[in-house]
Structure 1
């Protein structure tokens, strides 16, 4: 039990916060839909309910992914978070379908809804809460990158750095971005339906919200499918190759692999050294490189092996040398 609690404490905090907030929002929106029958509110209820469920599972998955390797699972549990995210987006897909279906039904058979103040109050409150979670996820993305940006500054910078975010944080960011935009759309749709008589506006808003949710499903599914299979981190690969090549005792590099294991990186290096050096000397090289590589952000495990130098330069990397030198200074050595 203590081990489980310790793991849960390491879970993705933004996922847990998002799950709690969305559960509260889903209850509030569901009550508003029950009393008013507003179809845009129904779409928002489905959205928040789906978000609450999958973000809770993502929190659990992110915690379990930090479990230490065991003899039965020597490679660790890093990819568990990718598998959980794959399951989570299936929940979002179901909710997306329901939102689109209900929206289409309302467009074909528009019905006037009541409770303008209730709908607007609930949507306004929910949108503010969703945006607060979005800001939290933005701050976490920037924190993971070593930046101290907060608030709107972190939010603006998160878009350009989203690809480097942890899988769980990225899912929370994208879902709550769609939720915030969806809340604004639903708010506008309620106003249009009430003041212009264009009742189909609520159904159209519901369909747009559903389609945005499907976009999140597609993007998150593809990214986590690659992560579950084992995806190379090209930027870190070139950075580590540059660091290894800089070592004065490394003659050549036969192979560098940097695989994403959930939120962590697994590094494998095969380098060539002077065959006249002693085993003790080569072991010192290994210790030096191991210490350097394990200091890199996100690297959890490294395997370094050596071969004798054959006098032929074979390492070209996935990018040309000038590109490696361009990328490497952007990443910290310590």
Structure 2
């Protein structure tokens, strides 16, 4: 049984692919850089406000922003390292490093953000219940910093939503998240949503604690911030782990791939198509096809090369194609088989 490897990509489909990758890559990079700048500024002012106000919720938010800042650095490292060219040890390149660093981000959110925030809040609750907590500091700093932080996070969220809309291309939110194979924009988007939610909760907690003279509201806000971060961390961790293990193209795209292949002249049957994302914008495809009877070896090679060109034109992300002529072993050979 013979195997045919993909021929070099033709210039038109290569240009199309590079154009799309350029937009997606630069868009994702811009979103991460915006988030990094915003979170760095916010983290500095939050720590200052936490020290002045003595607010546990403010400290939880400062730790949250510190975790987000580290996460943007991790994402940039992953985006940088994933663009390295293939070598002997890694013949398909380093694209999956994006998934690895996204998984590290999820772990960072959980360990640095969620656990520390909940611990600080629970510790303050313990002191309040045991009458050992003594309020101190000026909460006006915390209120001012949180208010400005909400505005800055909305700016970062606006950039992430803009890039996310480009990725969705008319699909619904849930469907777009399920089909997403690039975790970078999704990670920043959910980080920003969690950040805004945490800021609002922290602001409400501080205001209630100040005006009701009940500091437990500040502590509860810290716990709620930690819980929200834990939920985001678990979600992003599951998504990144699934991508690390290996995901195929979305089901609709796979069906379209089958239809295009089955309709190609010379192809009698699509036995199976196996796909795997080896990078956010790079797919490996393994095809087992039954070709028409009577094709010479030269004709078969031409047919396979033409099919590869057709597939690359229709599916720009399908960068590596392996086509195996054969037959369905469960059915056996028939008179029309090669």
User: What TM-score do the two structures reach when normalised by structure 2?
Assistant: 0.81
CA 1:262–1:206: 2 relative to 1, 3 Å: farther
For the 8 Å contact 2:27–2:163, the answer to whether it is kept is no
SS at 1:75 equivalent: coil
Counterpart in 1 of 2:86?
69
Q: Determine which of 272, 290, 301 is the counterpart of 2:290.
A: 272
Q: Once the two structures are superposed, what CA deviation does each residue of 1:171-194 show, in whole Å capped at 9, x if it has no partner?
A: 111111100110111111111111
Counterpart in 2 of 1:55?
72
CA distance in 1, matches of 2:332, 2:238: 37
Q: Residues 163-182 of structure 1 correspond to what in structure 2 (within 5 A)?
A: 163-165=178-180, 166-182=182-198
SS at 2:276 equivalent: strand
CA distance in 1, matches of 2:208, 2:307: 64
Counterpart in 2 of 1:118?
141
Q: Determine which of 268, 271, 274 is the counterpart of 1:257.
A: 274
Greater C-alpha Rg: 2
Give 1:32 deviation, angstroms: 0.6
CA distance in 2, matches of 1:239, 1:172: 30
SS at 2:273 equivalent: strand
CA 1:29–1:158: 2 relative to 1, 3 Å: farther
Give 1:304 deviation, angstroms: 2.2
For the 8 Å contact 2:146–2:203, the answer to whether it is kept is yes
Counterpart in 1 of 2:153?
130
CA distance in 2, matches of 1:249, 1:310: 20
Q: Residues 157-168 of structure 1 correspond to what in structure 2 (within 5 A)?
A: 158=173, 160-165=175-180, 166-168=182-184
Counterpart in 2 of 1:281?
299
Gaps of 5+ in 2: 1-21, 129-133, 334-338
User: What TM-score do the two structures reach when normalised by structure 1?
Assistant: 0.82
For the 8 Å contact 2:209–2:217, the answer to whether it is kept is yes
CA distance in 1, matches of 2:332, 2:213: 74
Q: Once the two structures are superposed, what CA deviation does each residue of 1:42-76 show, in whole Å capped at 9, x if it has no partner?
A: 11011110011012111220232222222221021
CA distance in 2, matches of 1:48, 1:61: 20
Residue-pair matches, total: 300
Give 1:38 deviation, angstroms: 0.8
SS at 1:251 equivalent: strand
The answer on 1:17 being equivalent to 2:34 is: yes
Q: Pick 1 or 2: higher relative contact order, CA cutoff 8 A, min separation 6.
A: 2
For the 8 Å contact 1:33–1:42, the answer to whether it is kept is yes
Counterpart in 2 of 1:224?
240
RMSD, aligned α-carbons:
2.6
Tell me whether 164-173 or 24-33 shows the greater mean CA deviation: 164-173
Gaps of 5+ in 1: 1-5, 148-153, 315-334
Give 1:80 deviation, angstroms: 0.5
Q: Once the two structures are superposed, what CA deviation does each residue of 1:167-226 show, in whole Å capped at 9, x if it has no partner?
A: 111111111110011011111111111111221111111111111111122111122112
Give 1:267 deviation, angstroms: 1.4
The answer on 1:239 being equivalent to 2:256 is: yes
